[in-house]
Structure 1
Amino acid sequence: MALAPRIEIRQTQSLVMTPQLQQAIKLLQMSSIDLAGYLAAEVEKNPLLELGPAPTAPGVTGAIGRRADDDGDWLDGIAANVTLHQHLHTQIRPMRGTPRVIEAALLIADELEDDGYLRVPLAEVTARHGLRAADALAGLTLVQACDPSGVGARDLRECLSLQLRDQNRLDPAMQAMLDNLALAAKGNLVELERVCGVDAEDVADMLAEIRALDPKPGLRFAQTRVEVAVPDVYVSRAPDGTLNVELNAESLPRVLMNNVYATRIGKDDSEARAFVSECSTRASWLIRSLEQRARTILKVAIEIARRQDRFFDTGTPGLRPLTRRAVAEQLGLHESTVSRVTAGKYVACEHGCYEFSHLFVSAIQAVSGGEAYSSAAVQDRIRSLVEAEPARRTLSDDKLVTLLKGEGIDIARRTVAKYRESMGIPSSVERRRLRARPSATREIAAGAGRSRD
């Protein structure tokens, strides 16, 4: 058969991930904290976007500790502290240098890790930001001249060298010691005396000077990271017994579109109008995606609360077996959508603040074939049995299986052992030995308590 070009018409189906769809999926899986950071960056890029004040949301008694109106927000004090990068920027901008060198120094400062080190190769920074090699090297020199001394170093030797140079103590002998820090680590002082050309007393003094330096100068600006679980949904029991499920308004940023900028553009400025039109389209898509995100989170939360209603009365023992697929099928969503909605999201109730993943649990079958038990509830029961066991008659895994089956829970011995180990509870032999010591009960309780946390 002869080969020849020809035209054919074929009908196929394919999923096209438009930028708008990609953005909607990305927003859906973000936590409230990640979302706030993402929106702040979008507002900087889009002149038509503004962040409006979030509406005040009612608190839930006993759910999450302090309210925002309790004597001010203590997190504001942490956020107000100056970071290392801000501290360096303040010093670099007024320095003497060409605009290119200053810009290079600012970019290099942003590349530093929290401890003050530049662990990214300078050549990589140069290529990524399109800098000239000479400007990058001069910019690094400016960074290394900043306070705190030693910042901008690429390794420990350079960090210590910068600090000693500022103290006018970087003589040849000290430089030789820095070049041979491995000898100091090994305690080979005789060899250090030889390579540095000094006696034992001088070596001891030099080592004392080095120990007084700061090997991680940037950490003095590092703030203690406080992980705060911000609830996305509140669940409470109404007086008539029904469950109220509502979004936390404080975790929902209000994004507004400001068209004042567009009205100031002349009719003849086609390039500016095209830019504003693109910004307007992006802003509209973002606002619609945020609205869709809120609706989806609420819809999924309502279904989870409906299926786990006992949990909001009794806590973990009231959990029923529940999978993301079951929720997705009930709501007509894809399972991946439910996974994204619940990832990194929290629900607050009278018992506390829990990640949504806590409410999805596997099933343990009942002996009589009735309603299955959740794995979380079974683990909680194992913990209770161990905590209540007699001091001289610790319960083996086989005994725990017998007791659980007596309560209608059909469970294998290896499953009991797996749950016990995951909760940090020692074996019956270890518990018996531990209880022979005065502090044993506290140690066993602490192991079980870690899993509860």
Structure 2
Amino acid sequence: MALTPKLEMRQSQSLLMTPQLRQAINLLQMSNLELSEVIEQELGKNPLLEREDDTSRDEEPLPRTIDDDGAVAGQAEEEFAPDNIDYDSNFDDFGSDSAGYEETGYDWADYNRGKNPHLDEDFDYCEKKLADTTSVYTLIEQQIDLSFTSPRHKIIARLLSEGLDDAGYFRGNTSDIAQRLRTSEKEVREVLQKMKSFEPDGLFAENLKECLTIQLRDKNRCDPAMALLLDNLGLLAERRLKDLQKICGVDAEDLDGMIAELKTLNPKPLAKYNNDITSYIIPDVFVKRNAAGDYRIELNNMSLPRLLINRAYYSEIIRRDKSSRRFLKENLSHANFLIKAMHQRADTILRVSEEIVRRQLDFFEKGIDYLKPLSLRDVAYSLEMHESTVSRVTNRKYMHTPRGLFELKFFFSQAAGSYIGNEDTSTLAIKHKIKQLIEAETPDNILSDDNIVSLLANEGVKIARRTVAKYREALKLPTSAERKRQKRA
């Protein structure tokens, strides 16, 4: 039988990713900082868009309250229900990766690039400013992800990073962080110690001596004489060089060489970034506890400009200049969609935040030991959203709580074992319990993995011995035999 080419007509239905939906998804996954910069560019190119004057903001952000039973009170009806943007439409084709908006295939910077040479310069400035503003955040965030495998330690590390000053010194309070997370100060100090190996050299040092010592150790130049010089920086400031020669046991020439080497070091590791580290993260949501003990969830409306459409200007120009009608209508349509997408983004962030707080009430009440397992799918199912929507809305969005500042995605942890009442306990919490048990050991009472299984079972946590061994190894804790030798040494 011969094969011959032929034409056939077929009718089928498929969903397409419209440019507007692509814009809405981009807005959803942007951080507040990125979105603010994009809005500034939209204000510059759309003559119908205006920034609402700050003095006209008489209305308070609509708070929602979650009581001890997890019920949400004060929830308004869906304000934009008739015109809701369907984020979930064709999400699988768009991809579930929650990376930055530049990688989605639709770059806001390319929206009008080439059409207006002045806009090209503005967009270049916007991109450079965004890169400069987020450089410190990116620098620290990447090193936290590379240095810590435990979500628990990543949470502690991010709280510690809030204590950095402009120069790169740690000025926070480890005791306060331990109290907020209901963990030991020893564990917080261990995380801080590891962060002192971050780049640039000297970052997270707690004083000038430590900052210089870290840099010299990295160069393998912190010999005993140099260590003595660092112990007496006050004498160096007073130029008491003879005294320093005696203390360090060196002659004048060697001391001059040591001082010259100190001058090559950087006493302010973050100075070159010229960036206020305390403001590199802007909370998207505030969680506050009221007098009744309930939690109020509010959006941070002040971090973004509020937009209005100048309809009077539109009506006047379209009446006088008919040649501009198409241009104005396109801008009106774009402005309407932008405002609607921003409202939808805010509502989605608020709803997901409410669900997180409702499900993690025990964490807010009692500390990190009570962090429950939570998946993106759980939240998506409860809110009737696509899992990709929840993934995007939790990425690079931050919640300011009484226990500290947390990225939304860090409230998600896989389950391990079962707990009293058939409620799973999170991997994070079980690892913490294992670490507490091992830290409390005495030389005469070293716990085997089987002993730990039994002790956890007494607390209502059912877990296999091989799982205990896996978590112990992940925590870099030695075996019971090795710990016994160490304790008796």
TM-score tier (shorter): 0.5 to 0.7
CA deviations 1:31-56 (Å, max 9, x no partner) are: 21221122222222323223335658
Give the whole-Å Cα distance in 1 for the aligned partners of 2:383 and 2:308.
Answer: 30
Do the aligned residues in 2 keep the contact of 1:238 with 1:244 (CA within 8 Å)? Answer: yes
The answer to whether the aligner puts 1:51 opposite 2:102 as a matched pair is: no
| 1:209-358 pair list within 5 angstroms | 222-224=273-275, 226=277, 228-259=280-311, 262=314, 265=317, 267=319, 269-358=321-410
Q: Aligned Cα RMSD in Å?
A: 4.1
Do the aligned residues in 1 keep the contact of 2:289 with 2:295 (CA within 8 Å)? Answer: yes
Residue 416 of structure 1: how far off its partner (Å): 3.0
Give the whole-Å Cα distance in 1 for the aligned partners of 2:384 and 2:378.
Answer: 10
Do the aligned residues in 2 keep the contact of 1:365 with 1:372 (CA within 8 Å)? Answer: yes
Distance 1:5 1:224, change over 3 A: same
Distance 1:429 1:360, change over 3 A: same
CA deviations 1:243-263 (Å, max 9, x no partner) are: 322212223431222346546
What TM-score comes out, normalization by structure 2 length?
0.50
Instruction: For 1:223, give the aligned amino acid.
Output: N
Residue 337 of structure 1: how far off its partner (Å): 0.9
**Local SS of the residue matching 1:26:** helix
The answer to whether the aligner puts 1:360 opposite 2:428 as a matched pair is: no
Counterpart residue number, 1:390: 442
Residue 417 of structure 1: how far off its partner (Å): 4.0
Counterpart residue number, 1:141: none
* Structure 1 portions without partners, runs of 5+: 60-99, 115-211, 214-218, 438-453
Counterpart residue number, 1:35: 35
* Structure 2 portions without partners, runs of 5+: 64-116, 133-262, 265-269
Distance 1:39 1:434, change over 3 A: farther
Counterpart residue number, 1:122: none
Residue 364 of structure 1: how far off its partner (Å): 2.0
Residue 398 of structure 1: how far off its partner (Å): 4.3
Counterpart residue number, 1:72: none
Give the whole-Å Cα distance in 2 for the aligned partners of 1:50 and 1:358.
Answer: 36
* Range 253-262 or range 21-30, more displaced: 253-262
Do the aligned residues in 1 keep the contact of 2:61 with 2:298 (CA within 8 Å)? Answer: no
Give the whole-Å Cα distance in 2 for the aligned partners of 1:6 and 1:398.
Answer: 71
Instruction: For 1:46, give the aligned amino acid.
Output: N
**Local SS of the residue matching 2:361:** coil
Do the aligned residues in 2 keep the contact of 1:319 with 1:377 (CA within 8 Å)? Answer: yes
CA deviations 1:298-328 (Å, max 9, x no partner) are: 1122122222221111122222222111111
* Range 334-343 or range 219-228, more displaced: 219-228
402, 410, 425: which one aligns with 2:454: 402
Distance 1:383 1:256, change over 3 A: farther
Instruction: For 2:15, give the aligned amino acid.
Output: L
Distance 1:396 1:32, change over 3 A: farther
CA deviations 1:215-241 (Å, max 9, x no partner) are: xxxx98642472633222222333334
Give the whole-Å Cα distance in 2 for the aligned partners of 1:297 and 1:52.
Answer: 22
Give the whole-Å Cα distance in 1 for the aligned partners of 2:355 and 2:438.
Answer: 34
Give the whole-Å Cα distance in 2 for the aligned partners of 1:58 and 1:390.
Answer: 53
Give the whole-Å Cα distance in 2 for the aligned partners of 1:313 and 1:281.
Answer: 46
Residue 392 of structure 1: how far off its partner (Å): 6.5
Do the aligned residues in 2 keep the contact of 1:324 with 1:338 (CA within 8 Å)? Answer: yes
What TM-score comes out, normalization by structure 1 length?
0.54
Instruction: For 2:52, give the aligned amino acid.
Output: G
Do the aligned residues in 2 keep the contact of 1:262 with 1:276 (CA within 8 Å)? Answer: yes
* Range 34-43 or range 338-347, more displaced: 34-43
The answer to whether the aligner puts 1:18 opposite 2:10 as a matched pair is: no
**Local SS of the residue matching 1:402:** helix
| 1:119-158 pair list within 5 angstroms | none
Instruction: For 2:364, give the aligned amino acid.
Output: F
Do the aligned residues in 2 keep the contact of 1:57 with 1:250 (CA within 8 Å)? Answer: no
CA deviations 1:157-198 (Å, max 9, x no partner) are: xxxxxxxxxxxxxxxxxxxxxxxxxxxxxxxxxxxxxxxxxx
Structure with higher Rg: it is 1
Instruction: For 1:314, give the aligned amino acid.
Output: K
Distance 1:386 1:254, change over 3 A: farther
Counterpart residue number, 1:173: none
Do the aligned residues in 2 keep the contact of 1:365 with 1:371 (CA within 8 Å)? Answer: no
